[in-house]
């Protein structure tokens, strides 16, 4: 985490953008410029500036956003639930569909099922996510009209339900406003399916690889020789031994969706942290960019720690 903060701090300092001019404007007087320069602490040694930056970050202070004129921490708190909701649904779909697909592909190695599973994974890896998003909008929204368009809800349902969690589906359920829930569901299904497909491709491919390794082991042959049923061999023995590896794969997939949904959020006008960081970067709002980057890095770290803790649950040897 300290390394990430150092990198983001250095990038913020070497960018060819004057943070003082971004605040006071190019028409400001020299006295105004100098006052803002000192207020930002830019007159101090670089190591002192970094120490102050770390101190502020530890206390949840990422500075103020130039675009919104609000603290960056408040902006992230406002936009992050939208990304969390989208990524959670996407990774859940990837787990539910990807794990069984990978297992079946490994068990039926070389069959038409295996070939289809490998093609599905290959397309998920190869196709640019922005192209799939645009084609999805064109077909399912523009032509067929099966799903809602860009945004989290239709214009008539904006700010209808009170914000409790920041996740529109959860908030509409808590408010028992089923019209908003239905509209929000129609809007989230396409971008979540897109992220779910990306997650499915990764999870199914890794599951297949892990299962092939286990199915070729001697203990599997021994279990079959003893007359154990094929379902017991697959699920009670082979799959049981890949659960720890799958935890890491799923945790990394979830983290990638949380930080890698930038293009999806832009295409679908989804007001999440990816759109927030991108807009801030294009507007030279470095406080927002640095704050969002640190938060994304923290998510990666926490998910890796959480997956390590789960090892003890699924593998007694880790204790």
Q: What is the pLDDT of residue 63?
A: 82
Q: What is the pLDDT of residue 222?
A: 86
d(CA 27, CA 23): 11
Please check whether residue 116 is in contact with residue 154, taking contact to mean a CB–CB distance below 8 angstroms. Answer: no
Please check whether residue 159 is in contact with residue 151, taking contact to mean a CB–CB distance below 8 angstroms. Answer: no
Q: What is the dihedral of CA 239, 240, 242, 243, to 10 degrees?
A: 120
C-alpha closest to that of 262 among 254, 252, 271: 271
Q: What would the DSSP string read from start to end of 42-58?
A: TTS-HHHHHHHHHHHHH
What CATH number matches the domain at 72-318, 3.30.565.10, 1.10.240.10, 1.10.3720.10, 3.30.420.40? Answer: 1.10.3720.10
Q: What is the pLDDT of residue 70?
A: 87
Per-residue pLDDT 10s for the chain (319 aa) are 888 888 888 877 776 666 666 666 666 777 777 777 776 667 777 788 888 888 888 888 888 887 787 888 899 998 899 989 999 999 999 999 999 999 999 988 888 888 998 898 888 878 888 888 888 888 888 888 888 888 888 888 888 888 888 888 998 999 888 998 999 999 999 999 988 898 898 899 999 999 998 888 888 888 888 888 888 888 888 888 888 888 888 988 888 888 767 788 888 888 888 888 888 888 777 888 888 888 888 888 888 888 888 877 777 766 6
Domain coordinates in residue numbering, the chain: 2-58, 72-318
C-alpha closest to that of 192 among 243, 240, 233, 132: 132
Contacts of 47 (CB under 8 A, 6+ apart): none
Residues listed for the chain: 319
Whole-structure pTM value: 0.83
Cα atoms in the 13 Å half-sphere on the side-chain side of 63 = 22
Q: What is the pLDDT of residue 165?
A: 87
Q: What is the pLDDT of residue 271?
A: 87
């Amino acid at each position: 985490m300290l390394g990430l903060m150092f990198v983001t701090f250095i990038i913020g300092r070497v960018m060819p953008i004057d943070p003082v001019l971004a605040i006071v404007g190019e028409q400001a007087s020299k006295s105004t410029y100098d006052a803002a320069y000192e207020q930002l602490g830019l007159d101090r040694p670089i190591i002192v500036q970094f120490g102050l930056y770390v101190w502020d970050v530890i206390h949840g202070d990422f500075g103020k956003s130039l675009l919104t004129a609000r603290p960056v921490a408040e902006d992230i708190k406002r936009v992050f639930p939208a990304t969390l909701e989208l990524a959670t649904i996407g990774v859940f779909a990837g787990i539910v569909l990807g794990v069984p697909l990978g297992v079946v592909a490994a068990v039926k190695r070389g069959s038409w099922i295996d070939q289809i599973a490998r093609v599905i994974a290959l397309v998920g890896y190869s196709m640019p996510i922005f192209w799939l998003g645009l084609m999805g909008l064109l077909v399912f929204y523009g032509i067929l009209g099966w799903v809602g368009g860009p945004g989290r809800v239709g214009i008539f349902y904006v700010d209808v339900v009170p914000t409790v969690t920041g996740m529109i589906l959860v908030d509409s359920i808590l408010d028992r406003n089923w019209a908003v829930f239905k509209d929000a569901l129609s809007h989230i299904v396409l971008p979540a399916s897109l992220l779910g497909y990306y997650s499915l491709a990764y999870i199914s491919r890794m599951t297949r690889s892990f299962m092939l390794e286990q199915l070729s082991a001697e203990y599997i042959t021994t279990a079959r020789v003893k007359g154990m049923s094929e379902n017991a061999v697959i699920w009670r023995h082979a799959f049981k031994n890949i659960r720890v590896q799958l935890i890491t794969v799923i945790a990394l997939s979830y983290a990638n969706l949380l930080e890698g949904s930038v293009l999806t959020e832009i295409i679908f006008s989804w007001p999440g942290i990816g759109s927030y960081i991108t807009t801030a970067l294009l507007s030279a709002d470095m406080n927002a960019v640095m704050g969002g980057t640190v938060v994304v890095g923290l998510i990666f770290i926490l998910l890796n720690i959480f997956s390590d803790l789960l090892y003890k649950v699924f593998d007694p040897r880790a204790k």
